[in-house]
Amino acid sequence: MTRIVVIGGGSAGTGAATNAIQFDRSLDVTLITEFEDIAYSPCGIPYVFGRDIKNFDGLFLQPLEFYSEMGINLKTETVVEVIDMDKRAVYTTNGEEYPFDKLILCTGWEYEIPNLANVDLEGIIFIKNIRRAMEIDGRLDNVKQAVVWQAKPLGVELIEALPHRDIETHLVDSGSWLMSEFADADMMELLQNHLVNDLGVKMHFGTDLMGFSGEDGKLTSVQTSDGDIDADMAFLVAPMKPSTKLAKSIGIKTGSTGAIIVDNHMKTNVDEVYAAGACVETMHGLLDIPVNLIQGTYAYTQGRLAGVNVAGGDESYSPVYVPWALGSKVQVGGALISETLAKATGMPYIIGKAIGITAARYHPSVEPMHVKLLADPKSKKLIGGQLAGGEGVKERADFLAFAIRKETTLIELATMENVYSPPIGALVEPIAAAAKNALANI
């Protein structure tokens, strides 16, 4: 019987183990993971904090017994310390040995803890594990002021959530607007105004995090380059790095992003060792460079593929175009490249913008839909787009990523067909309007 060991029980590891055994029931599949749970969605944590979701129950896909009944040998709260490729076995910190014929590394990512004074005070939070998030949730009712460091997607979700618990929420970020690493200032304005004017978030842009002060081991204030901010809790959305220690220990190659290099079957350079999820790098279809993606959709799909291939299948992974979106009342999203990234990489571009609507102008559900498209000046092929507005941002972001993948031109977008149905779609599709404007500007 072929023995498969999967290390890591996040989206990638769960996808790998379940798909391997579903592909071939005769396999002996063991999943070893550090946390108490597998197959839960950490993505829902900010929304439970904000009470959009009532509690954590729905964030667990299935109880652990479901996976055991499927035939997976599940080892939770267990950490793999050593992989011995000569003996073909992994060893855990509590001295257990698990032999394997094939190994799948789904070790994910970890925060880079900033080297700042008093970063270990109680009240300084790095959210990852759902059990710890449940404990924090219980403490939020007593929090009066909180600081969120860094306006990355998770940081933005947190500053949208915490005011719903009557917490005075401060954002500290060294950039000049939300998600300034990849998004454009003009497209973040709508969300930024909503957060400040409707939810009362206090933005500290152009501000560096300097350290923390506390009393009796508990956080009392956050030190920044713009002065101290009183806080009972600080959420640090620190840089996330791929967890590659185990991989490197057996000679697996990592690439320019620091993550594991895999081929399109999720195979590493070491025989019979596969890897998937946030610990690997993935080719970007347009830029033709590797990127390290820390998102559930990629982790699950890559894990599924690694599981199928390890079990004898033959599925390959395609380059990515990275649609993204977030926000509840005001939504933002897009598909890379943004103007910010085009400028940073020296990529030539033309722009088309439009402000459309999400429904018929006379329907009560109507909301604005801002669209900004970027295209190659010569071929007029779409290279990126961003959206800001109401319902329908996510679907349009997915559509734009697919349009980039299919090398769609502005002319094709300007003449696209669209649904007109009063509650969900206007006569003129905002994407088509932005494409027309881009062509008119040439």
Ligand X SMILES: Cc1cc2nc3c(=O)[nH]c(=O)nc-3n(C[C@H](O)[C@H](O)[C@H](O)COP(=O)(O)OP(=O)(O)OC[C@H]3O[C@@H](n4cnc5c(N)ncnc54)[C@H](O)[C@@H]3O)c2cc1C
Question: x/- string (CB under 6 A) for ligand X, residues 44-73?
Answer: -x----------------------------
Q: Binding segment for ligand X among 1-9, 50-58, 391-399, 424-432 (CB under 6 A)?
A: 1-9
Question: x/- string (CB under 6 A) for ligand X, residues 200-239?
Answer: ----------------------------------------
Q: Binding segment for ligand X among 10-18, 117-125, 333-341, 359-367 (CB under 6 A)?
A: 10-18
Torsion of CA 51, 57, 62, 64, to 10 degrees: 130
User: From the CB of residue 145, how many other CB atoms can be counted at a distance below 10 Å?
Assistant: 18
Given phi > 0 = left and psi -120 to 50 = alpha, else beta, which region is 6?
beta
Lateral strand order in the sheet of 227-230:
209-215, 218-224, 227-230
Does residue number 299 form part of the binding site for ligand X (CB under 6 A)? Answer: yes
Q: Which residues contact 160 (CB under 8 A, 6 or more apart)?
A: 46, 50, 195, 199, 201, 327, 328
Which tokens in the block code for residue 116?
């700042």
Nearer to ligand X, 82 or 287 (CB): 82
Q: Closest approach of Cβ 343 to ligand X, in Å?
A: 26
Does residue number 404 form part of the binding site for ligand X (CB under 6 A)? Answer: no
Q: What are phi and psi of 207, to 5 degrees?
A: -125, 130
Which residue in the set 50, 123, 277, 430 belongs to the binding site for ligand X (CB under 6 A)? 277
Does residue number 155 form part of the binding site for ligand X (CB under 6 A)? Answer: no
Does residue number 259 form part of the binding site for ligand X (CB under 6 A)? Answer: no
Which tokens in the block code for residue 261?
């290099």
Is residue 404 helix, strand or coil? helix
Which residue in the set 296, 313, 422, 425 belongs to the binding site for ligand X (CB under 6 A)? 296
State the Cα–Cα distance between residues 163 and 342, nearest whole angstrom: 34
Nearer to ligand X, 107 or 224 (CB): 107
Q: Binding segment for ligand X among 39-47, 52-60, 387-395, 431-439 (CB under 6 A)?
A: 39-47
Strands 28-32 and 3-7 turn out to be parallel
Written as one letter, the residue type at 282 is T
The enclosing H or E element of 335 equals strand 331-335
State the Cα–Cα distance between residues 303 and 313, nearest whole angstrom: 13
State the Cα–Cα distance between residues 31 and 12, nearest whole angstrom: 11
Q: Closest approach of Cβ 259 to ligand X, in Å?
A: 10
Which residue in the set 4, 6, 35, 385 belongs to the binding site for ligand X (CB under 6 A)? 35
State the Cα–Cα distance between residues 17 and 6, nearest whole angstrom: 7
Does residue number 297 form part of the binding site for ligand X (CB under 6 A)? Answer: yes
Q: Binding segment for ligand X among 102-110, 346-354, 362-370, 388-396 (CB under 6 A)?
A: 102-110
Q: Binding segment for ligand X among 9-17, 182-190, 263-271, 420-428 (CB under 6 A)?
A: 9-17
Does residue number 327 form part of the binding site for ligand X (CB under 6 A)? Answer: no
Q: Closest approach of Cβ 18 to ligand X, in Å?
A: 13
Write out the residues near ligand X by the rule CB under 6 A.
7-13, 32-35, 42-43, 45, 79-80, 106-109, 127-128, 154, 243, 246, 277-278, 294-297, 299
